[in-house]
């Protein structure tokens, strides 16, 4: 790896929001996960957990190859197989369900002050009952909108970015390009 590329890789991993992660719950369509991956990568999120109990588990390396090839190189995926062990490992984290319901707080009014895992329910089946969330937030819809789940996640990640991403910089500003000869 040439020195400039090495600088870019190091700068990329240092330029992340480290206290926000995503858990995707039983998505049937891997292209939805790929869309979330692109938004997460672009807005500074580095890790996505995949929780599957009834939908087929996708291999994001092969299934997301066309729709999120670049983001797939950078986002870390981790499969959650033992939910109790996962909760135990993340006991200091706040689980925040992205669910539009009467008890949900509007995301723009929510302050992301704790380490948070954004739990994204299945577009087809909703949130799995075993996923215990500490709070629920609704995406930034001003009306009863029917956006795709990936769009709702992207809008929500942008709100998180406005609160947590102020210190991040465009990658192009971190490592100057050399003169091409």
Q: What is the CATH number of the domain that holds 103?
A: 3.40.1280.10
Q: Which domain, by its residues, includes 158?
A: 18-166
Angle at 136 between CA 134 and CA 139, to 5 degrees: 150
Q: Which residue has the tokens 């599957």?
A: 52
pLDDT digit string, tens, across residues 88-97: 999 999 999 9
Provide the domain count of the chain: 1
Residue 31 falls inside a structural domain:
yes
Residue 73 falls inside a structural domain:
yes
In the predicted model, what is the mean pLDDT of residues 125-149? Answer: 84
Helix (H, G, I), strand (E, B) or coil at 91: coil
Nearest to 8, CA basis, from 138, 173, 179, 144: 173
Lowest mean pLDDT among 16-30, 114-128, 153-167: 153-167
pLDDT at 37 over 80: yes
Taking a C-beta distance cutoff of 8 angstroms, is the pair 150, 36 a contact?
Answer: yes
- The proportion of the chain whose per-residue pLDDT surpasses 90, expressed as a percent, equals 49
CA-CA-CA-CA torsion sign (94, 100, 105, 106): positive
Lowest mean pLDDT among 42-46, 112-116, 127-131: 42-46
pLDDT digit string, tens, across residues 39-66: 999 888 999 999 999 888 877 655 555 5
The reported pLDDT for the residue numbered 178 is 58
Burial (CB count <10 Å: 0-12, 13-18, 19+), residue 84: exposed
User: If you average pLDDT over every residue of the chain, what do you get?
Assistant: 84
Residue 5 falls inside a structural domain:
no
Taking a C-beta distance cutoff of 8 angstroms, is the pair 32, 66 a contact?
Answer: no
Residue 9 falls inside a structural domain:
no
Residue 4 falls inside a structural domain:
no
Cα dist from 53 to 56, 80, 110, 118, 125, whole Å: 8, 10, 30, 18, 12
Between 51 and 7, whose confidence is greater? 51
Helix, strand, coil: what percent of the chain each, to 5?
35, 20, 45
pLDDT at 180 over 50: no
pLDDT digit string, tens, across residues 147-160: 788 999 999 999 99
Residue 110 falls inside a structural domain:
yes
Residue 7 falls inside a structural domain:
no
Residue 114 falls inside a structural domain:
yes
The reported pLDDT for the residue numbered 171 is 61
The reported pLDDT for the residue numbered 155 is 92
Residue 32, C-beta contacts closer than 8 angstroms, at least 6 positions apart: 123, 148, 149, 150
The reported pLDDT for the residue numbered 15 is 78
pLDDT at 33 over 60: yes
The reported pLDDT for the residue numbered 140 is 78
């Amino acid at each position: 790896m040439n020195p400039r590329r090495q600088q870019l890789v190091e700068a990329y991993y240092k330029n992340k929001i480290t206290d926000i992660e995503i858990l995707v719950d039983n998505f049937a369509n891997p292209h939805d996960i790929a869309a979330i991956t692109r938004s997460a990568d672009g807005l500074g999120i580095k890790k996505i957990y995949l929780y599957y109990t009834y939908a087929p588990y996708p291999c994001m390396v092969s299934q997301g190859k066309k729709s999120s090839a670049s983001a797939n190189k950078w986002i870390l995926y981790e499969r959650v197989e033992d939910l109790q062990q996962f909760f135990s490992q993340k006991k200091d984290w706040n689980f925040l369900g992205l669910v539009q319901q009467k008890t949900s707080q509007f995301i723009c009014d929510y302050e992301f002050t704790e380490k948070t895992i954004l739990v994204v329910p299945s577009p087809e089946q909703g949130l799995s009952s075993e996923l215990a969330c500490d709070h629920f937030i609704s995406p930034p819809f001003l009306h009863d909108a029917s956006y795709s789940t990936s769009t709702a996640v992207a809008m929500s990640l942008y709100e998180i970015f406005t609160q947590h991403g102020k210190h991040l910089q465009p990658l192009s500003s971190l490592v100057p390009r050399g003169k091409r000869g």
